[in-house]
Amino acid sequence: MASPRSRYLTVLGREFHLTEWGEEEAPALVMWHGLARTGRDFDTLAEHFSDRYRVICPDTLGRGLSGWSRAPTRDYTLAAYMKHAEANLDELGVGEMDWIGTSMGGALGMLLAAGPLRSRMRRLVMNDIGPSLNPFAVERIRAYVTQIPHFPTMTAFEDFLRLVYKPYGFQTDPEWRRMAETSARRRGDGRITVHYDPAVMRVFAASAGDYEIWTEYEGVTCPTLVLRGAESDLLLPEVAEEMTRRGPKARLVTIPGCGHAPCLNVPDQIAVIEAFLAE
C-alpha cells in the first residue's frame, strides 16, 4: 500500500502544504479539492493512481496545513489561486499534467487550462462544477460555510461532517474518520472547529460571481471530462449538457447516488476516471 509524502513549499511569500504520492519521475496528476476541503479528500483516489502517476494533492491557501493569508480579499480568490497553483507546480518541477478538480478545484483547473497552463494541461476532469452555478445552491453553500461551527468532541465533529457531506455519497467508516481528522483544528478553549480560515468563506460569499466563466470555458482545448452528481443542486443538468456542446465539448458522466460532489472513492467512479486518463 502506497503512503503519501507530506511536503511544505514556500512560494510567493506563503507556505503551502501538499501530499504527494508515487514516483517523482512519473507523469504528473494534480488533484485539487473543493472550497471548504483539503487535499486529503483524495487519499483513496490518489493511492489508486500512485503506481503510475506522481499524484499531487495541495491544500489551497487558508485550508488544511497551508498558511493563512494576511490579505484575504486578495489571496482567497480564483485569480490568486491560479497564481498559487502555477507557482507551486513550477517549484515542484512539473511540466505537463492531468488535472482532477472537485468543485472549486475544477473551476481552478478550467481557468488554468484556458490560460497560463494551456500548453501544459493534458486532460481535465471537472467534478460537479461548471462555468455557471445554480444561484440557489450558491446561497445554500454561503449559509453553511460562513457559519463556523465548534464541537466539544471529535465524535461530535465527525457526526457533523457525515451530515453536511452526505451528498458526497458512500464512504467507509475509516474514510469518514480520516475526513474528520484532516478537517479539524482545536481552538484555544479546547473545542473542535473546522480547519479553514473563516475569511476564506467571507471572501467567497462576496465574490461568488467570479464562478460565472463561460468565456474561459470556451478557451479550454484539452480533452475534458465532466462528472455530475445525479442529485447535485450546484451543477444543473442543462448547464452540464451545454458543456458537451461548447468549448472542449466535454464528455459528461452522471454519477448516481451522489449530490454535490461525488467523493471519487468507489470503484465505479474511479473506473470512469481511469478510462478517461488512459485514452
Q: What DSSP assignment string belongs to 170-199?
A: ---HHHHHHHHHTSEEE-TTS-EEESS-HH
Residue 205 φ/ψ, nearest 5 degrees: -60, -30
Query: pLDDT value at position 238?
Result: 98
Grid coordinates belonging to 188: 484555544
pLDDT in tens, 92-121: 999 999 999 999 999 999 999 999 999 999
Report strand pairing: 5-11 vs 28-32.
Answer: unpaired
Picking from 23, 85, 19, 90, the residue whose alpha carbon sits closest to that of residue 57 is 19
pTM, rounded to two decimals: 0.97
Query: pLDDT value at position 249?
Result: 98
CATH superfamily of 5-132+212-278: Alpha/Beta hydrolase fold, catalytic domain (3.40.50.1820)
Report strand pairing: 54-58 vs 28-32.
Answer: parallel
Give the residue ranges of the chain where pLDDT is below 50. Answer: none
DSSP letter assigned to residue 143 = H
Query: pLDDT value at position 167?
Result: 96
Q: Where are the domains of the chain?
A: 5-132+212-278
Query: pLDDT value at position 1?
Result: 54
Give the type of residue at 114.
A
Element (H, E) at 216: helix 214-217
Is omega for the bond preceding 261 within 30 degrees of 0, making it cis? yes
